[in-house]
Amino acid sequence: MKIRKLIFSLAASVLFSQLMAQSPRLRDVSIVGDEVKVSINFNDVFIWDKAKFVSIKTFPSDPPWAPETNHELWFGFGDKHEVNWFQFDYGENGKYEVIDQSNVEVKLFGRKKNIIGHLDSETNLLSFNSLDYVPFLQVPKFVLEQSKDLNEWQEIILESPPKEYQWPKGLTFKFKLDLKVNAFYRVRIKKD
C-alpha cells in the first residue's frame, strides 16, 4: 500500500478581515479508511452580531414523547440589533445593545425590565436569565482545495458544508479521500 502524504495549509485569499484576531490554525487531521476529518480553529474574536447561543439545560417538550429541547438566543439574525429568544414552546423578540465585549443588554418587547447577559471569558458561557448558554458563530466562507503539484488547485465540494461552529472551539468537517490519487490539500478562507 502506498504511503499517502496529506499537507494541509490554511491560506487567506485576501487579507483577513478585522474580525480575525490571528490566522486560522489547523488543530487536527485524521484519516479513517477513505474519510478525512479536519479540525480548524479560526481564532475569531467574539462578536455579538450573528451569534447564536444554546442553553446547556434541556427542557421537556410538548408533546411529552418528543425529544427534550434547549432555549436559544439569536443576536442580529434579522435586523442588526434584533434579538430572538426561543424557549421550548414560545419565542420572544426584542432589541439588544452591546455594553462591552462581555456584556449585552436585552430589552424584550412587552417586558418592563431589561436582562443583562454576561459572556464569561474563562468558561466561554453566556449567563442569561439564570441559565448558561454555549456560543455558536457562523462559519467563515472557506474553500477546500486539492492539488497534485501545488501549482494548480481544484475545489472539493463538501457534501454537507457546516454552517456554524461552537466558539471558540473551532470547526470540524469531513470529506472523502480518493485513495488512487496522491494529492496535497488546503483550506482557504475567503473574504465576503
Helix, coil or strand: residue 16: coil
What local confidence, expressed as pLDDT, does residue 185 receive?
87
d(CA 133, CA 123): 11
Cell numbers at 15, concatenated: 487579507
Q: How far is CA 40 from CA 20, 36, 62, 90, 130, in A?
A: 14, 13, 38, 35, 32
Q: Which amino acid is at 146?
A: Q
pLDDT (0 to 100) of residue 78: 81
Give the DSSP H or E segment for 103. strand 103-108
Tens digit of pLDDT at every position of the chain (192 positions): 333 444 444 433 333 333 444 567 888 888 888 888 989 888 778 889 989 999 999 998 878 888 999 999 999 988 889 999 998 778 999 999 999 999 999 999 999 999 999 999 999 999 999 999 999 999 888 888 999 999 999 999 888 888 999 998 889 999 888 888 888 988 888 876
What is the structure's pLDDT at 96?
97
| Distance (Å, whole) CA 174 – CA 23 | 21
At 110, list the grid cell: 412587552
